[in-house]
Homo-oligomer: A and B are copies of this chain.
Amino acid sequence: MSLLVVGSVAFDAIETPFGKVDRTLGGAASYFALAASHFVPVRMVAIVGQDFTDEHRAVFKGRKIDLTGLETAAGRSFFWSGRYSQNMNERTTLATELNVFADFKPALPPGYLDSQHIFLGNIDPGLQRSVLHQVNGRPRIVGLDTMNYWIEGSNEQLRETLKYVDILTINDDETRQLTGEHNLLRASRHVLELGPKILIVKRGEHGALMVHPKFIFSVPAFPLEEVHDPTGAGDTFAGGFMGFLAKAGNMSEQNLRRAMVYGSVLASFTVEQFGVERLAKVTRREINDRAHRFAKLTTFKL
Taken together, the copies of this chain in the complex come to: 2
Q: A203-B206, A206-B203 are in contact. Are A261 and B223 (CB under 8 A)?
A: no
The reply to whether A300 and B260 form a contact with Cβ atoms under 8 Å apart is: yes
The reply to whether A258 and B215 form a contact with Cβ atoms under 8 Å apart is: no
Q: A206-B206, A227-B183 are in contact. Are A215 and B296 (CB under 8 A)?
A: yes
Do most interface residues of chain A lie in helix, strand or loop, or is the interface mixed? mixed
| Interface magnitude class on chain A | 35 or more
**Residues in B neighbouring A254, C-beta threshold 8 A:** 300-301
Chain B: CB-nearest residue to A215: B296
Closest CB of chain B to A109's CB: distance in Å? 35
Say if the beta carbon of A297 comes within 8 Å of chain B: yes
Instruction: Please measure, in the bound complex, the distance between the C-alpha atom of A258 and the C-alpha atom of B261, giving whole angstroms.
Output: 21
A: which residues have CB within 8 A of B?
A: 86-87, 182-186, 189, 203, 206-207, 209, 215-220, 223-227, 254, 257-258, 260-261, 291-292, 295-302
A/B interface sample: 9 pairs, CB < 8 A: A87-B182, A206-B207, A207-B220, A217-B297, A217-B298, A257-B299, A257-B301, A258-B302, A295-B300
